[in-house]
Structure 1
Amino acid sequence: MTDTATSRLAELQQHEEELVFPGFDHHDAWRLGSLIASRAVAAAHPVAIDIRRHNLVLFRCVLPGATADQEEWIRRKSASTLRFERSTALLAEEFASKDFDPTQGGWLAPEDYTLAGGSFPIRVRGTGVVAAVTASGLSSDDDHRLVIEAIRDYLTTVAV
């Protein structure tokens, strides 16, 4: 593994450890989703945003320029995050470091899962993962960045 890959893996693991919620309910989903949407609107990002507990959608927003494809990406990204309780960016980096693609060879069905960045677990202190927040429409790194920067802001300003 290269130094760059090791550094990126450490950064993504730090996000998982740092971005933990004190609690999370439907109102939090609305506030967090609205914060992400506001940031995306301000940056003119053509994204779809989704917060879900498995098959229960708690927040959904589709901004101008997003396509029907984003629905499939969100479904597959969030399925990966909820199954492994890790961000899709971290999963992608972990599997790449092992030179292994779990969507090949029959382990994970590629029509149901993806490792494209942009989905992040909503982890509640003392409880564990209760939901996934997902953005789709930008590059994997930019989708991930949009989500984690909003979560960081939310945790320091709203959820205190």
Structure 2
Amino acid sequence: MTDDDVAALIETIEQQERELVLGTFTADDAWRLGCMAVDIARDRGLPIVVDVRRGPQQAFHAALEGATPDNDSWVQRKVRVVERFASSSYLAGLRSRRRGQTFSEQHQLPFQEFAAAGGGFPVRVAGVGVVGVLTVSGLTQADDHALVVEVLTRFRSATPA
């Protein structure tokens, strides 16, 4: 991936984060969001873990066929990045890459606790900010990111403002 590719991808993800804002995010919403992600993944036979947080509370978690315990570790590490930086885990990693550093080098954070890889995405509520995290793990980081964006896009379309 060239520097221009990284810059374009950063711009795309920043736009996704600006657009994927919800009107509310209740406990029931968190459950429905997780179920929607699982339904999509099952239809495609994806071996992933799906995790939804509402504030610090894990509101939904599912490990689909083919997912491994290692995926749970990746979820935890991606969630920490989203919660700390209020941006998607993929975006955080790409921003470091654009600076010519790894995320761990730039922020002096241990890789075993923080993973700036695709798949963690902030759940934002209009007028409030980040209130949760949708995370998947089990695919490439680009595919993990694309899946959470797809799920949030569908969820936003299906949820009244």
TM-score normalized by the length of structure 2: 0.94
Q: CA deviation at 1:157?
A: 1.6
Please state whether the residue corresponding to 1:52 is helix, strand or coil: strand
Please state whether the residue corresponding to 1:72 is helix, strand or coil: helix
Residue of structure 2 equivalent to 1:22? 23
Identity of aligned residues (%): 33
Q: CA deviation at 1:159?
A: 3.7
Stretches of structure 2 that go unaligned for 5 or more consecutive residues are none
Residue of structure 2 equivalent to 1:104? 105
- 1:104-148 CA-to-partner distances (Å, cap 9, x unmatched) read 377112121011100000011111101111000000011111111
Letter in 2 for 1:123: R
**Whole-angstrom CA distance in 2 between matches of 1:96 and 1:141:** 15
Higher helix content, 1 or 2? 2
Task: Note if contact 1:54-1:131 (Cα within 8 Å) is conserved in structure 2.
Answer: yes
Please state whether the residue corresponding to 2:103 is helix, strand or coil: coil
Over 3 Å counting, the alpha-carbon distance change for 1:128 and 1:43 in structure 2 is same
2:140 is equivalent to residue 139 of structure 1: yes
Over 3 Å counting, the alpha-carbon distance change for 1:94 and 1:42 in structure 2 is same
Please state whether the residue corresponding to 1:135 is helix, strand or coil: strand
Q: Where has structure 1 moved over 2 Å in runs of 4 or more?
A: none
Residue of structure 2 equivalent to 1:123? 124
Letter in 2 for 1:102: F
Residue of structure 1 equivalent to 2:43? 42
Greater shift after overlay, 41-50 or 150-159? 150-159
Residue of structure 1 equivalent to 2:149? 148
TM-score normalized by the length of structure 1: 0.94
**Whole-angstrom CA distance in 1 between matches of 2:102 and 2:8:** 21
Stretches of structure 1 that go unaligned for 5 or more consecutive residues are none
- 1:59-83 CA-to-partner distances (Å, cap 9, x unmatched) read 1111000001011000000010011
Greater shift after overlay, 50-59 or 143-152? 50-59
2:75 is equivalent to residue 74 of structure 1: yes
